[in-house]
Amino acid sequence: MTEPEQISAIEPNRYRMVLGHYPTGVVLISSLDEAGEPVGMIVGSFTSASIDPPLVAYLPSKSSSSYRQLRDARHFVVNVLGADQIALCRQFAVKNASDKWTGVSWRRSKRGLPILDGAVAWIECEVSSTLDAGDHDVVLGRVVDLDATSDRLPLVFFQGGYGRFTPRSIVSAIDTELIPVLQIAERARPMLERLGESVGFECGLQAALGDDLMLVAAYAPLGAARTPHSVGTRMPFVPPSGSNFMAWASEAAVDGWFGRSPVPLAAEARETVLAGLKRVRERGFSIVLHSPAYTEIDRTLESLAKGDLTPAHRRRLLEQLSSLVDAYEPPSLATIGASRIRVLSVPVRAAGGDIVVSLQLRQLPAGLDEGAILDLVDRLHATAREISANCLDGFAVEGRQNATPATTAVAR
């Protein structure tokens, strides 16, 4: 008989990486401490254990400070988080925070336990047993009450990132926020074509939709150096991308924009981005220079457009974007020199001043001087005004971040 093969130790990071290929739901376990105050912890290891009797289980880390507050509780509630509750999830996932419940809306169950407002479902349990499982415990709970309070999609954790499950039957459904923007893009197509023909470059319309910036229309004249980007191409709406939408936004909205990125910017980079937003407001337009990093970014964006982008790919994309701070909103147009301009854009506003879409010229050649750039900006503004006057009838911007009217005059 051959000797049995010796099993090597499993490295923890490799374990996490491989197991990360299995998606899990995200729940908040809530209860009350000895003083009657709400306590809670985020858990990705939750499962149904039995139907008869009704049992569920969650697996907390023994080292968790939040679990130490829950360990002696005899009852708990499993709150199934919705896909729109990522910010709440992150608020509770912060280690050793003393104010996790600040601003959180909740109500009491019949037994007085916290049930989160907005949870997709909740399951109230009595602790049946606690089992040892290495560096985790297995807390088995007997279900005493439960309800599904919403048909919203649940929050999903996959490869270290948060997302949502989309049933195959509705994959092709168009987001309701996108429909009116596509209608505007269709009405504006003749104006895009005239602009593209007059300048000889690719032009397009970009919209801010949730956490993404999406190209909703594109046109490239015959003889243009490059074929236009694919309509539907998306870019994460995180700093520094989207400055044309954020330059006139409120301070709170800008803070939310910074907070949306899982790759926090260093203080110096944040100041650079804020200075860039100020330049966009003063100039009335946004300018992004080409960088070699965009070669890899464009390949990743193609995967995103095809629906092939995993959370791991998206994290790399966000890291790449955060390194491009200096490519956005250069301090002086006179110093651009031999640099190529990737995007030159102006806002298109509704009657009340809200920014609806961004009108862009893309992939401009190197060697444009300040006068040539400002001439292109004038043409962009003229077309933006034409789109505003002819394509936005009846379009209302509700609850958007960029609701501050501003002049579109170009700083000379």
List, in order of start, the domains of the chain with CATH numbers: 12-170 (2.30.110.10), 178-391 (3.30.450.40)
What is the separation, in whole angstroms, between the first and last Cα of the chain?
Answer: 86
**3-class SS at 403?**
coil
Task: Find, among 409, 326, 412, 408, the residue nearest to 373 by Cα.
Answer: 412
> For the whole prediction, is pTM greater than 0.75?
no
Closest to 73 in 3D by CA, of 50, 41, 44, 117: 41
Distance of CA 363 to the CA centre of its chain: 25
Which residue is associated with the tokens 């900006």? 377
**Which pLDDT does position 54 carry in this prediction?**
94
Is residue 202 within 8 A of residue 364, CB to CB? The reply is no
Tens-binned pLDDT, residue by residue, of the chain (412 aa): 455 555 668 887 777 778 777 788 899 999 999 889 999 999 999 999 999 999 999 999 998 888 988 998 999 999 999 988 888 988 888 776 677 898 999 999 999 999 999 899 999 999 999 999 999 999 999 999 999 887 678 888 876 677 776 554 343 344 567 888 889 999 999 999 999 999 998 999 999 988 889 889 988 887 655 555 677 778 889 899 999 999 999 999 999 999 887 777 889 999 999 999 999 999 999 999 988 877 777 777 766 655 555 666 677 777 778 788 888 999 999 888 778 899 999 999 998 899 999 999 988 888 899 999 999 999 999 999 999 999 987 665 543 444 443 333 333 3
- Residue 73 and residue 38 in contact, taking contact as beta carbons nearer than 8 Å: no
